[in-house]
């Protein structure tokens, strides 16, 4: 018996149960803790290989039903996802207000993201792609401010356009191939026709929307910035893994085909633009959470560039960077949450927090060095692999842009560190700081994530060993003249 | 063929409405039109002159495959209608909240830069 | 490229301290470097000297309207009309690029 669908079914069932427990705060708290523990075990219970839901496999050339594909690369992604999800749930236990709605939505998001990563049929992919956009808007609405409602409404209006267009693209692919199963569809796509081009084009629109590549980077960053710190950690994890899942599907369908070349260039260009626009906008911000939100876009650009290169090394580097990125960016968002418990997140009003919480400052500094790509941390390993992948296909310009963006990242991160922790403040502010508690559970989560940053930084093969097989399967080696 | 032309028209009208009409409620109506266009296109590619795609227990699978319309598109459209309805419900609710605050539905006012 | 003039522009928004001005400058130069290396790689891939020259002249034009960073910030606002405008431009641009290779 293969328990693979439990990864999706268990969180959905728990989400429904949590919804029924409205008002019983104690029960919700214990159940949340139990769920957070179980989530970590989920990725290990499935078997590798194809899984057809309720046994509906290939019937007379018709492929019906939901299909999943599980392999070590997807396992690595889901392990990271479940780790972040359980840490965020544990952090959220410290908050009192609207606790069970937050748990419900996060679990629904967890189920949707694992379905998108595992999916081997586009129908399933589309359904969960829509659910995740409702979940993200809902998580933003939880913070209850007017800006949050505006950000959510913007996201949903533009998102409905993009998702409807993506469904149109799926329609085109279905019309030209007659199937929605990805492994089966690949055999029908060898020759090109206008329908296939249209499908590819509209899938790219969906990809850009789901992962916050330009031109969707502003609404996505707005979404992260308006929600609470630990919820933003969850939201950016979702977006990164939507990017990984959808990009792997596009590569699996089209990589290596002769007519893919221009779409390939479009994908690389989208990645590079996301990288640069994200970091430039981050340099201009005066709000700490918005700064981090634009960095999430920028690092998403790195992931997209690495995956879009389409070589085995590029794919490994892309997924590896996605995993590293969600770890250190979640740590940074948790740091922002701890700071905002003291005094908001406006950089020009903060300052002088170093003597009050030196351990938190040290851990946040570690995460900041990791995001800028400084050697002993995990960010360095994956950025190095990405630059190597860009050099391997003979595009040194992209490697140079990556390094320039790293410099911009370092500058804005150090600016934020100076303005929050080092800038001198007067006595009254210090007294105001001391009156407010630091959330202990958030510090615990921050510690776990920082430790992971260092461990992966010292031994990257811990993760990359999982990724190589699948990357060799869908990657194609080539070299630009 | 007529259904494809209709669905194309609906998609274009929907996109026009979303991009050019400066009223949040009208934008949401346009989104619904866009979604209907996509649904119609999905139904139209699945229709091959066959019967409704409901498999009765006494009909063997290969006969069903020959006689009925393509069932996958119907499943996709049904799911899409449900998801779209819930998206629209959330969007309408939020626009009511914003209307109460600003007393207007102009997109350039209630969703301006902040 | 006058630092003092730049700082005056920023002081109007109330963020005239040194570290913010430095960050704005970094952003400005990152954009220029994107244009330079983007023009290089596009010219190299398509093998057209004219394209590179065109890109470099666009760079020169943007340098002459220094600073472009405020304009960039304005275009990246989260007002819905700006967003929808750039979404429509994006749809047109990638449709053009993807259909460029079509042979029928």
CA trace torsion C6, C9, C14, C20 (10° rounding): -20
> What's the average model confidence in pLDDT over C85-101?
85
Chain A partners of B72 at a C-beta cutoff of 8 Å? 64, 123, 174, 180
Chain B partners of A131 at a C-beta cutoff of 8 Å? 83
Chain A partners of B73 at a C-beta cutoff of 8 Å? 174
Chain C partners of A217 at a C-beta cutoff of 8 Å? 76
**What pLDDT score was predicted for residue A299?**
92
**What pLDDT score was predicted for residue A168?**
92
Q: Please, which residues have CB within 8 angstroms of residue A354's CB and are 6 or more apart in sequence?
A: A361, A421, A422
**What pLDDT score was predicted for residue B27?**
92
**How many Å apart are CA C1 and CA C11, to the nearest integer?**
17
Interface touch A156/B94, C-beta < 8 Å: yes
Per residue in A81-122, pLDDT tens? 999 999 998 888 877 655 678 888 999 999 999 999 998 888
DSSP string, A184-230: HHHHHTSS--HHHHHHHHHHHHHHHHHHT-TTSHHHHHHHHHHS-HH
pLDDT greater at residue A245 or residue A66 = A245
Instruction: Kindly tell me if the per-residue pLDDT of A58 is higher than 80.
Output: no
**What pLDDT score was predicted for residue A196?**
87
Nearest to A298 by CA among A413, A153, A445: A413
How much is the mean pLDDT over chain A? 87
> What's the average model confidence in pLDDT over A416-426?
85
Interface touch B108/C88, C-beta < 8 Å: no
Q: Which of C81, C85, C87 sits opposite B108 (nearest CB)?
A: C81
Chain B partners of C78 at a C-beta cutoff of 8 Å? 113-114
Q: Confirm or reject contact between B42 and chain A (CB < 8 A).
A: yes
User: How far is the alpha carbon of B81 from chain A, nearest alpha carbon, in Å?
Assistant: 11
Q: Which of A137, A147, A180 sits opposite B90 (nearest CB)?
A: A137
Nearest to A231 by CA among A299, A292, A156: A292
Per residue in A78-92, pLDDT tens? 999 999 999 998 888
pLDDT greater at residue A198 or residue A23 = A198
**How many Å apart are CA A267 and CA A291, to the nearest integer?**
25
- Whether A325 is covered by a domain: the verdict is yes
**What pLDDT score was predicted for residue B8?**
92
Host domain of residue A163 = 143-474
Host domain of residue B93 = 2-110
Interface touch C87/A161, C-beta < 8 Å: yes
Please answer whether residues A311 and A225 qualify as being in contact, where contact means their C-beta atoms are separated by less than 8 angstroms.
no
- Whether A85 is covered by a domain: the verdict is no
Chain B partners of C79 at a C-beta cutoff of 8 Å? 108, 111-113
ipTM for the whole predicted complex goes beyond 0.90 = yes
Instruction: Kindly tell me if the per-residue pLDDT of A175 is higher than 60.
Output: yes
Per residue in A323-332, pLDDT tens? 999 999 999 9
Say whether pTM exceeds 0.90. Answer: yes
Chain B partners of A167 at a C-beta cutoff of 8 Å? 38, 42, 76, 80
**What pLDDT score was predicted for residue A182?**
85
Q: Which of B27, B75, B76 sits opposite A157 (nearest CB)?
A: B27
Instruction: Kindly tell me if the per-residue pLDDT of C15 is higher than 70.
Output: no
The 3-state DSSP class for residue C65 equals coil
| pLDDT tier at C34, thresholds 50, 70, 90 | confident
Rounded to the nearest 5°, which phi and psi values hold at A69?
-125, 125
In B, minimum Cα distance to C86 occurs at B19
C51-70 as b/e, with b when 16 or more CB fall inside 10 Å? Answer: ebeebeeebeeeeeeebbbe
Domain count within chain B: 1
- Whether A3 is covered by a domain: the verdict is no
Interface touch A262/C22, C-beta < 8 Å: no
**What pLDDT score was predicted for residue B75?**
84
| pLDDT tier at C44, thresholds 50, 70, 90 | confident
Interface touch C41/A397, C-beta < 8 Å: yes
Domain-by-domain residue ranges, chain C? Answer: 3-67, 78-104
Chain B partners of A180 at a C-beta cutoff of 8 Å? 72, 76
Instruction: Kindly tell me if the per-residue pLDDT of A285 is higher than 90.
Output: no
Interface touch A418/C19, C-beta < 8 Å: yes
pLDDT greater at residue A25 or residue B91 = B91
Q: Please, which residues have CB within 8 angstroms of residue A15's CB and are 6 or more apart in sequence?
A: A103, A104, A105, A107, A108, A111
| pLDDT tier at A61, thresholds 50, 70, 90 | low
Interface touch A201/C20, C-beta < 8 Å: no
| pLDDT tier at A57, thresholds 50, 70, 90 | low
**How many Å apart are CA A297 and CA A293, to the nearest integer?**
7
A397: β partners: none
Per residue in A248-283, pLDDT tens? 999 999 888 888 888 888 899 999 999 999 999 998
Nearest to C83 by CA among A152, B32, B112: B112
- Whether A1 is covered by a domain: the verdict is no
Q: Confirm or reject contact between B85 and chain A (CB < 8 A).
A: no
Q: Confirm or reject contact between A164 and chain B (CB < 8 A).
A: yes
**What pLDDT score was predicted for residue A169?**
92
Q: Which of A215, A259, A266 sits opposite C87 (nearest CB)?
A: A215
Q: Which of A161, A259, A284 sits opposite C24 (nearest CB)?
A: A284
Interface touch B98/A147, C-beta < 8 Å: no
Domain count within chain A: 1
Regions of chain B where pLDDT drops below 70: none
Q: Confirm or reject contact between B81 and chain A (CB < 8 A).
A: no
Q: What percent of chain A has pLDDT over 70?
A: 97
């Amino acid at each position: 018996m293969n328990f693979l669908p439990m990864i999706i079914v268990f969180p959905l069932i728990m989400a429904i149960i949590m919804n029924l427990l409205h008002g019983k705060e104690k029960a919700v708290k214990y159940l949340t803790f139990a769920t957070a523990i179980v989530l970590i075990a989920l990725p290990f219970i499935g078997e590798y290989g194809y899984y057809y839901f309720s046994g509906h496999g290939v019937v007379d050339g018709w492929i019906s039903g939901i299909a999943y594909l599980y392999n070590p690369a997807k396992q690595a992604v889901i392990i990271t996802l479940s780790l972040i999800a359980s840490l965020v749930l544990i952090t959220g236990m410290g908050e009192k207000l609207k606790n069970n709605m937050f748990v419900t939505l996060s679990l629904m998001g967890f189920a949707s993201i694992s379905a998108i990563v595992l999916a081997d049929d586009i129908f399933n992919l589309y359904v969960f792609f829509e659910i995740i956009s409702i979940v993200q808007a809902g998580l933003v609405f939880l913070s209850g401010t007017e800006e949050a409602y505006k950000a959510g409404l913007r996201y949903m209006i533009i998102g409905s356009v993009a998702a409807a267009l993506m469904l149109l693209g799926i329609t085109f692919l279905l019309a030209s191939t007659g199937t929605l199963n990805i492994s089966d569809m690949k055999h029908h796509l060898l020759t090109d026709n206008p329908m296939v081009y249209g499908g590819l084009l509209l899938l790219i629109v969906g990809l850009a929307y789901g992962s916050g590549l330009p031109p969707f980077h502003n609404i996505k960053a707005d979404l992260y910035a308006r929600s609470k710190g630990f919820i933003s950690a969850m939201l950016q994890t979702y977006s990164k893994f939507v990017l990984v899942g959808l990009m792997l599907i596009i590569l699996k369908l089209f990589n290596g085909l002769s007519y893919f070349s221009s779409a390939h260039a479009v994908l690389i260009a989208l990645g590079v633009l996301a990288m640069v626009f994200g970091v430039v906008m981050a340099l201009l911000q005066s709000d700490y959470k918005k700064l981090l939100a634009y960095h999430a876009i920028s690092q998403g650009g790195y992931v997209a560039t690495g995956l879009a290169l389409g070589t085995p090394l590029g794919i490994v580097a892309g997924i590896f960077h996605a995993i590293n990125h969600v770890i250190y960016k979640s740590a940074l968002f948790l740091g922002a949450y701890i700071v905002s418990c003291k005094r908001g997140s406006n950089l020009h009003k903060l300052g002088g927090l170093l003597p009050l919480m030196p351990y938190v400052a040290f851990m946040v500094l570690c995460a900041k060095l990791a995001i800028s790509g400084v050697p002993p941390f995990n960010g360095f390993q994956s950025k190095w692999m990405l630059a190597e992948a860009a050099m391997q296909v003979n595009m040194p310009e992209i490697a140079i842009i990556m390094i320039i963006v790293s410099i911009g990242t370092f500058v804005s991160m150090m600016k934020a560190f100076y303005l929050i922790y080092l800038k001198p403040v007067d006595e009254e502010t210090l007294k105001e700081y001391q009156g407010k508690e630091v959330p202990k559970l958030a510090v615990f989560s921050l510690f776990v994530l920082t430790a992971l940053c260092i461990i992966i930084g010292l031994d990257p093969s811990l993760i990359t060993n999982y990724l190589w097989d699948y990357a060799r399967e869908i990657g194609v080696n080539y070299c630009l003249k | 063929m007529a259904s494809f032309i209709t669905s194309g028209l609906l998609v274009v009208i929907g996109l026009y409405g979303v991009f050019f009409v400066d009223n949040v409620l009208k934008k949401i109506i346009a989104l619904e039109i866009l979604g209907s266009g996509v649904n119609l296109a999905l139904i139209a590619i699945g229709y091959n002159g066959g019967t409704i795609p409901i498999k009765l227990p006494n009909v063997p699978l290969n006969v069903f495959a020959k006689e009925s319309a393509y069932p996958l598109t119907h499943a996709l459209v049904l799911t899409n209608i449900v998801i779209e309805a819930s998206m629209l419900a959330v969007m309408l609710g939020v626009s009511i909240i914003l209307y109460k605050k600003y007393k207007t539905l102009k997109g350039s006012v209630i969703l301006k830069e902040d | 490229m006058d630092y003092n003039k730049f700082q005056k522009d920023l002081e109007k928004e109330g963020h005239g301290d040194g570290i913010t001005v430095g960050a704005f400058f970094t952003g400005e130069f990152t954009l220029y470097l994107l244009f330079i290396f983007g023009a290089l790689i596009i010219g190299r891939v398509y093998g057209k000297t004219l394209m590179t020259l065109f890109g470099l002249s666009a760079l020169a034009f943007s340098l002459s309207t220094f600073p472009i960073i405020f304009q960039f910030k304005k275009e990246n606002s989260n007002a819905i009309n700006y967003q929808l405008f750039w979404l429509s431009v994006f749809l047109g641009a990638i449709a053009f690029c993807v259909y460029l290779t079509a042979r029928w």
